[in-house]
Amino acid sequence: MSKNVLILSTSLRANSNSQALAQAFADGARESGHQVELVSLQGKEIAFCRGCLACLKNKSCVIRDDAVEIAQKMHDADVIAFATPIYYYEMSGQMKTVLDRANSLYGSDYAFRDIYLLSAAAEEEDGVDSRAISGLQGWIDCFERAHLAGTVFAGGVNGAGDIAGHPALEKARELGRNIS
């Protein structure tokens, strides 16, 4: 059965390594017949959450910027994949800001079930992505029908485009192919 797959690429750098993971995941999902939308945060205006909680009453954020449309896309997606660079052993600040701004989804009849994390970092030791996974898991835990379905980490990639030929690209493609 075809699913609606949303991939959020949170790097603001052109030709980023996490964007390459996002594209590989998208390619794999398309190969399996899924409907895929890849949204990059490059050029988007996304303000910080004010913590006013009006979104829980209004079902939409009072801040009128690109995060409102992104949250609606998240709401409607069956599958969400987040692609992020790892900064100081954590998800990017812009990814965290998107998660915070998606607070309007809490208590809604959201469609998503499967959540994926695709990440890249200069460091390549085991566990470099563990805090990013934990941070995303904290968000997922607020949505009882959702779960972390898989992760891919590309270590040892620092400069733009360094990921070319990295085995994580095929892992990301395979993860996208195996969405069920």
pLDDT score recorded for residue 143: 97
End-to-end CA separation in angstroms for the chain: 7
What is the mean pLDDT of the segment spanning 64-72? 97
What residues pair up with 119 in beta bridges, in sequence order?
84, 153
43, with CB counted inside 10 A (0-12, 13-18, 19+), is: exposed
Q: Which helix (H) or strand (E) holds 21?
A: helix 17-31
What is the mean pLDDT of the segment spanning 29-51? 98
Domains detected in the chain: 4-177 (3.40.50.360)
Task: Tell me the pLDDT band of 166, cut-offs 50, 70 and 90.
Answer: very high
* Cα–Cα nearest to 65, from 98, 21, 103: 98
pLDDT score recorded for residue 28: 98
pLDDT score recorded for residue 42: 97
**Residue 78 φ/ψ, nearest 5 degrees:** -80, -35
pLDDT in tens, 104-140: 999 999 999 999 999 999 999 999 999 999 999 999 9
Please, what is the average pLDDT of the chain?
97
Taken as a whole, the chain contains a residue count of 180
Task: Tell me the pLDDT band of 55, cut-offs 50, 70 and 90.
Answer: very high
Are 25 and 16 a contacting pair, CB within 8 Å? no
pLDDT score recorded for residue 41: 98
What is the mean pLDDT of the segment spanning 26-46? 98
Task: Tell me the pLDDT band of 35, cut-offs 50, 70 and 90.
Answer: very high
Q: What angle do CA 161, 167, 169 make, to 5 degrees?
A: 60
What is the mean pLDDT of the segment spanning 41-63? 95
Task: Tell me the pLDDT band of 61, cut-offs 50, 70 and 90.
Answer: very high
Whole-angstrom Cα distance, residue 40 to residue 34?
A: 19
Instruction: Please report, rounded to a whole number, the percentage of residues in the chain having pLDDT higher than 90.
Output: 98
